[in-house]
């Protein structure tokens, strides 16, 4: 999945959720001072920023396949080694890091097992690999309201629920397939407040991610219909989105 959109468009869309997850991800991987840690699929740098706070810029490296996201992360976090690369081909030597993390990335990898295997390759023996993926298959994903309304219009819509890691237990299975050991599975949760329906809806219009791309693909009438269907599902304002992400960690 390509994210050829401006960094600001992603920030207002999924970045608002990513920032809430970052501390939990760093805790899951037991990130601590003195380590060197890799952020795989760093996006616009939400998790990168959390790692910099804990380790300093020299202790952090990051990769992403999107040129605009790499540029944004470099600008926001000077001193961090940020490189343009997919998860399946990490541009680092064996055992370069104490831990490798992938926040909300595995379900977009072309080959998740290969990506996780690469994360293990660049992590030292007994180092930690950790990842999380939204619960798009179940009822707890952050985009559930949007995709429920979209499915009511089009039952065949690609709502991300088929993507790898979105089902409970699936991420841990991918970790084991990648040769990681002592794999543990858990769930993370975040809550995001929306002052109005429009504040919730507007980020979808920026074209970021599968949801934004789907909305942009609709003709004006269908786009308005989807907006109205979403609006009817919001009973009061302000309202909140509570979202869960499946998470796993394993040792190299």
119-137, pLDDT tens digit by residue? 999 999 999 999 999 999 9
Question: Does residue 3 surpass a pLDDT of 70?
Answer: no
Q: Which residues contact 173 (CB under 8 A, 6 or more apart)?
A: none
Q: Is 162 helix (H, G, I), strand (E, B) or coil?
A: coil
| DSSP state letter for 111 | S
- CA dist., res. 70 & res. 76, Å (int): 10
Q: Region 93-105: what's the mean pLDDT?
A: 98
* Phi/psi of residue 57, nearest 5 degrees: -60, -35
Examine residue 124 and state whether it is found in any structural domain, yes or no.
yes
Examine residue 149 and state whether it is found in any structural domain, yes or no.
no
Examine residue 199 and state whether it is found in any structural domain, yes or no.
no
pLDDT digits (tens, 9 = 90+) for 207-232: 888 999 999 999 999 999 999 999 99
Q: Is 6 helix (H, G, I), strand (E, B) or coil?
A: coil
Examine residue 238 and state whether it is found in any structural domain, yes or no.
no
Give percent of the chain with pLDDT exceeding 70.
98
Instruction: Work out the pLDDT band at 87, boundaries 50, 70, 90.
Output: very high
Using the CB atoms, write b or e for 165-204: b if 16+ within 10 Å.
bbbeebbbbbbeebebeebebeebebeeebeebeebbebb
Q: Region 57-65: what's the mean pLDDT?
A: 98
- Residue 2's pLDDT is what? 47
Q: pTM of the full predicted structure?
A: 0.94
- Residue 8's pLDDT is what? 80
- Residue 9's pLDDT is what? 74
Question: Does residue 165 surpass a pLDDT of 50?
Answer: yes
Examine residue 219 and state whether it is found in any structural domain, yes or no.
no
Tally of domains within the chain: 1
Examine residue 118 and state whether it is found in any structural domain, yes or no.
yes
- Residue 15's pLDDT is what? 84
Question: Does residue 106 surpass a pLDDT of 90?
Answer: yes
Q: Which domain holds residue 167?
A: 7-141+159-193+243-251
């Amino acid at each position: 999945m390509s994210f050829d959109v401006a960094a600001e468009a992603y920030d207002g869309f999924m970045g608002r959720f990513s920032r809430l997850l970052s501390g939990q991800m760093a805790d899951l991987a037991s990130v601590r001072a003195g380590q060197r840690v890799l952020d795989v699929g760093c996006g616009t740098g939400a998790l990168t920023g959390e790692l910099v706070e804990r380790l300093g810029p020299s202790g952090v490296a990051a990769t992403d396949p999107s040129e605009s996201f790499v540029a944004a992360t470099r600008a926001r976090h000077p001193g961090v080694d940020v490189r343009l690369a997919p998860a399946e081909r990490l541009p680092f030597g064996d055992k370069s890091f104490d831990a490798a993390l992938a926040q909300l990335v595995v379900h977009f990898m072309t080959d998740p097992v290969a990506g996780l295997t690469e994360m293990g390759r660049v992590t030292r023996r007994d180092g930690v690999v950790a990842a999380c993926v939204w619960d798009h298959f179940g009822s707890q994903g952050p985009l559930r309201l949007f995709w429920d309304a979209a499915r009511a219009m089009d039952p065949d819509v690609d709502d991300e629920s088929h993507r790898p890691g979105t089902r409970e237990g699936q991420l841990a299975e991918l970790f084991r397939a990648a040769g990681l050991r002592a794999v543990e599975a858990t769930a993370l949760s975040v809550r995001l407040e929306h002052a109005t329906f429009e504040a919730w809806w507007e980020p979808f219009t920026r074209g970021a991610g599968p949801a934004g791309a789907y909305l942009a693909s609709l003709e004006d009438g269908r786009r308005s219909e989807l907006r109205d269907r979403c609006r009817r599902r919001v009973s009061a304002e302000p309202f909140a989105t509570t979202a869960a992400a499946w998470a796993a960690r394993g040792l190299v």
